């Protein structure tokens, strides 16, 4: 959560000098990505932590109700039938792609840009774009 808040702070902080290209938007989206990934982890912990065994059933998308005997069955059903888990996986793919985009933005800052100056590095090049 701390890097997520740092990314959002990096977007809203006005630093001199301005970087070219400015990694502020990358920093904001990276911060939001980290917060959403944290919430996805909480969701997974909640979904996996529900009681399972004889006499308990879990309802999944499409009305499928199953009685899971162990954690392996729960994980299999989450992967196959849980729409929240599916959306979270797609979001993780987006976040990984955005991370590589952030690396390219940071790497494309020109060597003569004042952001590269060790005394005036615009909030450490916007927290090294998270």
| pLDDT given at position 66 | 77
CA atoms of 73 and 102, how far apart (whole Å): 38
Q: Which residues in the chain show pLDDT less than 50?
A: 119-121, 123
CA atoms of 122 and 110, how far apart (whole Å): 14
Show the beta-strand stretches assigned E in the chain. Answer: 58-59, 65-66
CA atoms of 116 and 10, how far apart (whole Å): 17
| pLDDT given at position 4 | 67
| pLDDT given at position 120 | 44
Phi, psi of 19 (to 5 degrees): -80, 155
52, 71 contact by CB (below 8 A): yes
| pLDDT given at position 88 | 93
| pLDDT given at position 71 | 82
Q: Residue 51: helix, strand or coil by DSSP?
A: coil
| pLDDT given at position 80 | 83
pTM assigned to the model = 0.71
Give the residue among 1, 45, 9, 48 at the shortest CA–CA distance from 27: 9
């Amino acid at each position: 959560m701390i890097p997520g808040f740092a990314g959002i702070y990096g977007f809203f902080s006005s630093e001199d000098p301005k970087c070219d290209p400015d990694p502020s938007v990358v920093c904001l989206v990276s911060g939001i990505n980290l917060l959403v990934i944290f919430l996805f982890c909480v969701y997974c912990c909640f979904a996996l932590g529900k009681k399972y065994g004889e006499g308990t059933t879990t309802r999944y998308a499409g009305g499928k109700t199953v009685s899971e005997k162990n954690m392996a069955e729960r994980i299999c059903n989450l992967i196959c039938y849980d729409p929240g888990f599916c959306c979270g996986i797609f979001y993780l793919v987006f976040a990984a792609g955005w991370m590589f985009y952030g690396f390219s933005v940071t790497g494309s800052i020109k060597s003569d840009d004042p952001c590269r100056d060790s005394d005036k590095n615009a909030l450490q090049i916007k927290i090294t774009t998270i």
